[in-house]
Structure 1
Amino acid sequence: MNIGVIGAGVMGMGVAQSLAQSGHEVTLIDIAEEILNSAKKKIHNNVRFHALFNKDFNKTADEVLSLITTTTNYSELSDADFIIENVPEDWDIKKSVYEKIIKISKGDCIFLVNTSCISITKIASLTDRPDRVFGVHFMNPVPVKKTVEGIKGYHTSDVTIRHTNDLLASMGKEIIVVNDYPGFVSNRISHLLMNEAAYVVQDQVADPAQVDDIFVKCYGHTMGPLATADLIGLDTVVNSLDILYDSYQDSKFRVCPLLRKMVDAGLHGRKSGQGFFEYETEEMFIK
């Protein structure tokens, strides 16, 4: 089985790594060789890091990378059975990607949309095969998360869901299938939490560490809302909230001014080295 992965950012790298660790051949595509070379180095480091905390994992970083081909050429996806799209939450960017892949992909290829908030039905309208478009919202860090959120568009077929379920099962993941409305379940709820946490910091009710300590130590969450926002990327959180606001026209999704200010200042979280917290590395795994 040949699987194409579009986008070599944090999510795309994680998806490609998780697929390769499961023995799948992957074609990873992005707009520049520099991005792809950086992605390969990070995947190499992340596989080694993953092995330290997973004693049953018996593949080397080189073995995993041998299954990942990188390219900037979309024509390399012409034989893909699945294409998993992970580009930023920007409608114009997504539209341009689907305009390309619909021309070169084979007719029975399934498009899996790894989006945070954009409607799967809306994305499917860009294609000539809406029945073969399915939302698969991987969680970060992808290689260690065992469950994904699946989003059934208006036209998504049961056959497409079944084939996708088989793929995910081969990766050691299960899927929870929900219906299609912007933000779905996970981000429609979680982004409200992260946004309100930012308001709490902006209003000087508490500092970021105190906010997250309450959720970790009092509620038993693995990670607080602000560390989660840093992991996702504050720029991605802001883009997603803007999509939710535009989609529902509901003021509850209005972006906290502090969040937007931080993004404007280049404080994007883990990937930039600083967000609500400071980070020494860009490692995507959490001990």
Structure 2
Amino acid sequence: MIESIGIVGAGTMGNGIAQVCAAAGLPVVMTDISDAALTRGMSVVSNSLERLVNKQKMTDADRQAALARITTSTDTAKFSTCDLVIEAATENEDLKVKILKDLCAKLQPRALLATNTSSISITKLAAATDRPDRFIGLHFFNPVPLMALLELIRGLQTSDDTHAKAEAFSKRIGKVSITAKNSPGFAVNRILCPMINEAIFALQEGIATAEDLDAGMKLGCNHPIGPLALADMIGLDTMLSVMEVFYEGFNDPKYRPAPLLKEMVAAGHLGRKTGQGFYSYGK
């Protein structure tokens, strides 16, 4: 049984995971490299829970109880009693490998270890640990408190017991899980990112304007947001990185990144985070 959670990283994904775990009644230890980062992360959690109270989706007593279940620290040794530790650091393979190697000596032998990566090989990350059979991908979607899906990714050595415990954990925190095997992009991004890339090709070729392409997918396919607006939200640098992983991983030209995507990234037009992508967002 998973009854206590450790989370590496207090950024957007880390604090979102901490919130849903704490709201589900699980004690959480959230770490980051600085107290300032932890303070920012807890502020986001507090504000998010406050909005739920204002919408009458949570009582104030439950909000306070959830916040009380989250402990923060800059010391990963605090994970020593956790049943499951989730690495939710920046999407950088070398950094993740370093974090995972460092974590192993600080965890109890039976603890499960997971990564929130959206593109890096689970099998490869598992090999950096002392427990590849107890290692799994837990791909949460942003914003974590609102998105219902949790994608479970099995590495080559992930055991059936680890997978079963991950499924039970998903239910415990109110998520619906799907399972994918270890392959570039797993299941969701394998479909989503090439679709976005194709929309960029269509824009590049002058098939339609960005506004019309997005309106077509929203109104014709019932998507809540158009692919180009979604690319701006994800970050065009992230999109390019994922497509390069696909292109390299499959050696198939159908996954080649659109030249316009490369141009946008080279220009520093990365989407919402820079104020300019396929749309303008001001400062």
What's the TM-score once normalised by structure 1's chain length? 0.87
Partner of 1:57: 58
Selected match of 1:33 from 19, 32, 35: 35
Q: Secondary structure at the match of 1:99?
A: helix
C-alpha distance in 2 between matches for 1:271 and 1:4:
28
Q: Conserved in 2, the CA contact under 8 Å of 1:7 and 1:87?
A: yes
Other-structure match for 1:285 = none
CA shift digits 1:165-211 (9 cap, x unpaired): 22111111121112221211111111101112223333343333322
Query: Which range moves more in the overlay, 192-201 or 92-101?
Result: 192-201
Distance, in Å, in 2 between the alignment partners of 1:23 and 1:269 is 36
For 1:47 and 1:278, locate their aligned partners in 2 and report how far apart those are by CA, in whole Å. Answer: 30
Q: Residues of 1 paired with 2:182 and 2:226: CA distance?
A: 27
Q: TM-score, normalised by structure 2?
A: 0.88
User: Aligned residue for 1:179?
Assistant: 181
CA contact (8 A) 1:88 1:236 kept: no
Distance 1:24 1:279 in 2: 38
> Mind listing any 5+ residue stretches in structure 2 that lack a counterpart?
none
The one of 151, 154, 158 aligned to 1:156: 158
**Match of residue 169 from structure 2:** 167
* Residues in 1 aligned to 2:126 and 2:170: alpha-carbon distance in whole angstroms: 21
Please tell me whether residue 254 in structure 1 is matched to residue 268 in structure 2. no
1:231–1:21: structure 2 CA closer, same or farther, 3 Å change rule? farther
Of 166-175 and 36-45, more deviation after overlay is shown by 36-45
Sort the Cα spacing of 1:179 and 1:146 in 2 relative to 1 into closer, same or farther, 3 A.
same
Please say if 1:193 is aligned against 2:195: yes
Larger radius of gyration between Structure 1 and Structure 2: 2
Q: Structure 2 counterpart of 1:17, which letter?
A: Q
- Offset from partner CA, 1:143-172 (integer Å, 9 cap, x none): 122222111111111111121122111111
The Cα shift of 1:125 comes to: 1.0
Separation in 1 of the partners of 2:275 and 2:65?
29
Superimposed CA distance per residue, residues 245-286 of structure 1 (whole angstroms, 9 cap, x where no aligned partner): 2222222222233334444455443444543345589xxxxx
What is the deviation of 1:52? 4.6
C-alpha contact (below 8 Å) 2:115/2:136 kept by paired residues: yes
In 2, Cα distance between equivalents of 1:26 and 1:38: 16
Residue 219 (structure 1) shift: 0.7
Partner of 2:225: 223
In structure 2, the partner of 1:102 is 104
Local SS of the residue matching 1:78: helix
Shift of 1:223: 2.0
The AA in structure 2 aligned to 1:175 is S
Q: Does the CA contact (< 8 Å) of 1:45 and 1:61 recur in 2? A: no
The separation in 1 between residues aligned to 2:16 and 2:232, in whole angstroms, is 16
One-letter amino acid matched to 1:67: R
- Counterpart contact for 1:90–1:239, Cα < 8 Å: no
Q: Is the 8 A contact 2:152 2:166 kept in 1?
A: no
**Partner SS for 2:105:** helix
Q: Give 1:130 shift.
A: 0.9
* Structure 2: distance between partners of 1:30 and 1:280: 30
Q: How many residues align?
A: 280
- What is the alpha-carbon distance in structure 2 between the residues aligned to residue 238 and residue 104 of structure 1? 35
Taking a change above 3 Å as real, the CA distance of residues 180 and 206 of structure 1, as seen in their structure-2 partners, is same
Of 68, 73, 77, which residue of structure 2 is paired with 1:71? 73
After TM superposition, give the deviation of residue 100 of structure 1 in Å.
0.8
Q: Which residue of 2 aligns with 1:275?
A: 277
Secondary structure at 2:142 match in 1:
coil
Question: Percent identity over the alignment?
Answer: 37
Is the deviation greater in 43-52 or in 148-157? Answer: 43-52
- What is the aligned-residue RMSD (CA, Å)? 2.3
Structure 2 CA distance, aligned partners of 1:150 and 1:124? Answer: 14
- Determine if contact 2:200/2:260 at 8 Å carries over to the other structure: yes
- Give the alignment of 1:93-132 within 5 angstroms: 93-132=95-134
Distance 1:33 1:98 in 2: 21
The aligned amino acid for 2:179 is V
Tell me which moved more, 237-246 or 146-155. 237-246
Distance 1:31 1:235 in 2: 24
